[in-house]
């Protein structure tokens, strides 16, 4: 049995693609492109998909957009248990309503972003806000993944707060998505085998898997689900993927990942973004796309 297989992983979440959102020329969600992309990822062995996250421009999607994406994804036949829905809201009413959209479709796994508008709030205040969310959704038996991405939200979820939330809500709090890219933070979480620890920075995955990492919600899984499986399931280092990620993050990440998906799929329409994001620079995209094609073989 390999080191990764023998690691004390109480949950094996696997690889969930942080789904990118394609837009039609009129700015609406391109449901046909969503459906085709998800079907391709399923055929290539992806463990699941995550909707409305950072890579999916979730903070810029309205109710009509989300409904179109739900319809397209579920039309592929993927089981609701393989879908995670990101909840991005700063008020509890909206957060609970977005969770309700998932519950109506049989989806219970939620990636919960902290309330991010007001900065410098205390752990006690965050605990109270998240506790309110749990109280209003608990009847649906959610599996809540706490989303730690302080470089975007400017609201960190400290290990102490995470531990406090898990102890208070042992059934509802399922795990953490650690997207900070800070190994010193990650290693504090990995020993907690009552939580599924998902790594958002692909460069840390091979290190995390043998230490209890449960998997990843990953933007690069839109491009390389097979290579991501090697990192998560077998703890196989991937120097080429690490190097590509290093270069991708020198650009606005979400537009670049979308543009690369479009180049690989032969559809430049994927380069369209929803304001306030702007499309990735064409020359840089073309250069990185050549490397992606070479890595795909």
**Contact criterion met (CB below 8 Å) for 176 and 192:** no
Cross-strand partners of 83: 49
Name the residue among 127, 53, 126, 63 with its Cα closest to residue 94. Answer: 63
Residue 217, annotated as binding a ligand: yes
Name the residue among 221, 218, 214 with its Cα closest to residue 191. Answer: 214
Q: Which residue matches tokens 């991405």?
A: 149
Which is the catalytic residue, given 147, 166, 174, 258? 147
Q: Is 119 a catalytic residue?
A: no
Token pair of 43, please?
């055929």
Measured distance CA(109)–CA(32) in Å, rounded: 24
Give the CA diameter of the chain: 52
Tell me the HSE value of 222 on the side-chain side, using a 13 A CA sphere.
Answer: 31
Token pair of 221, please?
């899984």
How many CB atoms are closer than 10 A to CB 17?
Answer: 30
Q: Is 177 a catalytic residue?
A: yes
Token pair of 23, please?
């837009």
Residue 55, annotated as binding a ligand: yes
DSSP states along 89-134: -SSHHHHHHHHHHHHTTT--EEEEPPP-SS-S--HHHHHHHHHHHH
Which is the catalytic residue, given 98, 166, 174, 177? 177
**Contact criterion met (CB below 8 Å) for 127 and 164:** yes
Measured distance CA(4)–CA(12) in Å, rounded: 11
Q: Which helix (H) or strand (E) holds 160?
A: helix 159-168
Positions marked active-site = 147, 177
Mark the binding-site residues, compressed into ranges. Answer: 55, 217
Binding-site residues for pyruvate, please?
55, 217
């Amino acid at each position: 049995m390999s080191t990764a297989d023998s690691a004390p992983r109480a949950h094996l979440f696997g690889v969930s693609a942080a789904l990118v959102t394609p837009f039609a020329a009129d700015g609406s969600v391109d449901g046909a492109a969503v459906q085709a992309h998800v079907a391709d990822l399923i055929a290539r062995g992806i463990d699941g998909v995550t909707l409305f996250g950072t890579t999916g421009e979730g903070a810029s999607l309205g109710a009509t957009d989300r409904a179109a994406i739900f319809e397209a994804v579920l039309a592929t036949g993927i089981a609701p248990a393989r879908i995670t829905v990101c909840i991005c809201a700063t008020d509890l009413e909206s957060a609970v309503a977005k969770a309700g959209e998932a519950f109506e479709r049989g989806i219970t796994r939620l990636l919960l972003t902290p309330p991010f508008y007001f900065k410098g709030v205390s752990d006690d205040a965050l605990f109270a806000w998240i506790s309110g969310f749990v109280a209003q959704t608990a009847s649906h038996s959610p599996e809540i993944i706490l989303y730690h991405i302080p470089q975007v939200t400017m609201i960190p979820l400290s290990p102490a707060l995470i531990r406090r939330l898990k102890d208070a809500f042992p059934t509802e709090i399922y795990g953490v998505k650690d997207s900070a890219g800070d190994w010193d933070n990650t290693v504090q979480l990995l020993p907690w085998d009552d939580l599924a620890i998902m790594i958002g920075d692909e460069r840390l995955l091979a290190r995390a898997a043998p230490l209890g990492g449960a998997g990843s919600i990953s933007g690069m899984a839109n491009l390389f689900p097979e290579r991501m499986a090697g990192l998560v399931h077998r703890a196989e280092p991937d120097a080429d993927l690490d190097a590509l990620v290093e270069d991708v993050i020198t650009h606005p990440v979400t537009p670049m990942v979308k543009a690369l998906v479009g180049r690989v799929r032969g559809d430049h329409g994927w380069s369209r973004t929803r304001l306030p994001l702007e499309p990735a620079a064409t020359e840089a995209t073309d250069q990185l796309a050549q490397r992606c094609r070479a890595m795909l073989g």
